[in-house]
Amino acid sequence: MGVAVTRRLGLATATLVVVANMVGTGVFCTSGLLLDSLATPGAVLLVWLVGGLVALCGALCYGELATISSRNGGEYRFLSDAFHPAVGFVAGWLSLVVGFAAPIAASGLAFGTYLHAAAPAVPSVAAGAALVLLASVAHAAGVVTGARLQNAVTVLNVAFIVAFTAAAAWVLPAGRLERLAPSGDAVTGSGFAVGLILVSYAYSGWNGAAYLAGEIREPVRTLPRALALGTGIVTLLYLALNAVFLLGPAPGELRGVVEVGHRAAADIFGPGAGRVVSALIACVLVSSVGSLAMVGPRVYEAMGEDYPALRFLRLRGEGGGPWASIALQGALALALLLTSSFGALLLYVGILLSAMAALTVAALFVLRRRGAGAAGGYRTWGYPLTPAVFLLFSAWAIAHSLVDRPVVAALAAATIASGLLLYRLVRTNNSSRTTHQ
């Protein structure tokens, strides 16, 4: 049966959850793809900057939303409260399929690929599957133990990125900085909009701590700080890391390349460095998979509280995580890992996550109008400009991407429709819900 949720997590863990949720496959695999649609390295770096600022606006808004609810569940809770339970349920469905299982699969695939590059005797797919299993077991067994392990790995990952970028800055010729000058005609069309969707995948996770609101101590003070601090740290890391990638090999050599970290390290430090960096990137992806395995199940657990047909998702052991939800997520992630590729998931996931985040930020206007939130509680800095900026950039990027990639648009619509169908199947009666009164 379900076990009462305890507030065990502080500011450090909440911030590191945000960092770990964000730093993953996307940052090491996206810039080569961006060079296909953007004219210059400067334009690529600019899209990373704009993506980080948009994510920060979203994080500031989510800080207020999370303190209004102060319960686990993230968008599922926010959208159920602001609009209708069906909207929240679809958000929960998207969280399972697109928000967590698919990124876990992509990160597992990338982990296996990089580990195989460092140690060719290790089979890549088996290594990725083993990581998904281990991360799931660790977070099901114990909340505090899993969080401490997650924190330690994340700190090491941040240290690696800082050391790598500092060493590269020391070695790289100063004359290459001219590459980073942005070109105005490269940032005005659909290419830049599609680029924003691609980097939104890499930035996804800026809302990570919001899913754990029910397990964070002093959520009104802690959550907004963790969301803003974690997003700010990752934005700086991403800008530094991608500047190094773009200043290493010639732009033509990176265009369309997925393993940009490996290619840049070999160019800057010599061929032997590629294997070492591949091993270190594999370690970074351990943190990414672990954090996603920790956060996502809190959404499904919240859904299990409201729908009797999904009550099994609430199952926890004493002191442990929601093991049934973790098992469901892990099984779906393994299925995707064995049948998909990172490239096939990237834009599809980015569009749906951007749409879900935009609708959630719009919910802030609705809840404010209803007077939600305790007096003296956290209020979004810069409101209403902050949510408006987030919504305008998100709408522009999504619209251009849907027009540019109609097949992806059809897949996204089908995923949303499947969530609505599932909602109709599991709905019982209004009295069984606890979130939308």
Average pLDDT over residues 93-109: 84
Residue with tokens 């502080």: 10
Q: Which of 260, 221, 227 is nearest to 242 (CA)?
A: 260
pLDDT of residue 417: 93
b/e code 136-165 from CB counts within 10 Å (16+ = b): bebbbebbeebbebbbebbeebbeebeebb
Q: Kindly state the tokens that stand for 380.
A: 């979004």
- Picking from 201, 160, 162, the residue whose alpha carbon sits closest to that of residue 26 is 201
pLDDT above 70 for 318? no
Q: Summarize the confidence of residues 84-96 as an average pLDDT.
A: 88
Note the pLDDT of residue 69.
66
Range in 117-121, 218-222, 278-282 with the lowest mean pLDDT: 218-222
Task: Write down how long the chain is.
Answer: 437
What is the pLDDT, as a whole number, of residue 2? 46
- pLDDT (0 to 100) of residue 392: 93
With cut-offs at 50, 70 and 90, classify the pLDDT of residue 398: confident
Report pLDDT for 158: 83
Position 172 pLDDT exceeds 60: yes
Residue 182, pLDDT above cutoff 80: no
Average pLDDT over residues 220-238: 86
Per the prediction, the chain carries an average pLDDT of 80
Q: Are 65 and 419 in contact (CB under 8 A)?
A: no
Beta bridge partners of 2: 315
Share of the chain above pLDDT 90, in %: 12
Considering only residues 340 and 414, tell me which one the structure prediction assigns the higher pLDDT.
414
**Residue of 25, 34, 23 lying closest to 257 (CA atoms):** 34
Measured between alpha carbons, how far is 326 from 148 in angstroms, rounded to an integer? 18
> Any residues with CB less than 8 A from the CB of 89 and at least 6 apart, and which?
76, 80, 303, 307, 419, 422, 423, 426
pLDDT higher for 313 or 252?
A: 313
**Domain residue limits, the chain:** 11-430
Predicted local distance difference test score (pLDDT) of residue 349 = 81
Pick 31 or 5 by higher pLDDT: 31
* 8 Å CB contact between 47 and 183: no
pLDDT at 258 over 80: no
Q: What percent of the chain has pLDDT over 70?
A: 84
Which of the residue ranges 9-13, 56-60, 249-253, 340-344 would you say has the lowest mean pLDDT? 340-344
**pLDDT tens track for 340-363:** 665 556 777 888 888 888 999 999
Q: Is 133 exposed, middle or buried (0-12, 13-18, 19+ CB in 10 A)?
A: middle
Q: What is the pLDDT of residue 405?
A: 76
227 and 209 Cβ atoms separated by less than 8 Å: yes
What is the phi-psi region of residue 255: left when phi exceeds 0, alpha when psi lies from -120 to 50, beta otherwise? Answer: beta
Give per-residue pLDDT as tens, 262-289: 788 888 888 777 788 888 888 778 877 8
Alpha-carbon separation of residue 139 from 98, 288, 327 (angstroms)? 20, 13, 10
Report d(CA 322, CA 215) in Å as an integer.
12
**For residues 183 and 38, is the Cβ–Cβ distance under 8 A?**
no
Average pLDDT over residues 64-77: 75
CATH topology assigned to domain 11-430? Amino acid/polyamine transporter I (1.20.1740)
Mean pLDDT of 411-422: 90
Q: How far is Cα of residue 325 from the mean position of the Cα atoms in its chain?
A: 18
Q: Residue 238 has what pLDDT?
A: 92
CA distance 365 to 374: 16
The answer to whether the CB of 272 falls within 8 A of the CB of 68 is no
Map residue 216 onto helix, strand or coil: strand
* The two structure tokens encoding residue 100: 């967590």
Determine the Cα–Cα distance for residues 30 and 371; give it in Å rounded to an integer.
Answer: 41
Q: What are 135-145's pLDDT values in tens digits?
A: 888 767 655 55
Instruction: Sort 24 into a burial class: Cβ within 10 Å, 0-12 / 13-18 / 19+.
Output: buried
DSSP track, 228-255: HHHHHHHHHHHHHHHHHHHHSS-HHHHT
pLDDT band at 387 (very low <50, low <70, confident <90, very high): very high
pLDDT reading at 7 higher than 70? no
pLDDT at 193 over 90: no
